[in-house]
Amino acid sequence: MAAGFVEAKYQERIGELTPKQRVARAASMFEWAREAIARQIVADMGTIGAERLKWLVAHRQYRASSEIRKMIERKLQSVSS
């Protein structure tokens, strides 16, 4: 299958979704990404408390923004392992 065909089919199907369905799809993909990052962190670091894991995931997701990254790092200092 040519990449152009796949992209066109994807755009066609996305175009058929309602705005509400598009938002739900984006939220679902975002949750999937968070879960994948969490699994990777646990694989690398072992068992971690849920609160700390949540902030470590956020740290990876927002690492491109220095301002947000600093805020998350401050939060991580107060969260137990």
Q: Is the pLDDT of residue 1 over 70?
A: no
* Per-residue model confidence (pLDDT) at position 75: 95
* Per-residue model confidence (pLDDT) at position 80: 76
pLDDT tens-digit profile of 15-73?
999 999 999 999 999 999 999 999 999 999 999 999 999 999 999 999 999 999 999 99
Binned at pLDDT 50, 70 and 90, residue 81 comes out as low
- Give which of 5, 58, 52 is closest to 34, Cα–Cα: 58
Amino acid at 75: K
Cα distances (angstroms) measured from residue 54 to each of 22, 35, 75 = 25, 10, 11
Q: Is the pLDDT of residue 12 over 80?
A: yes
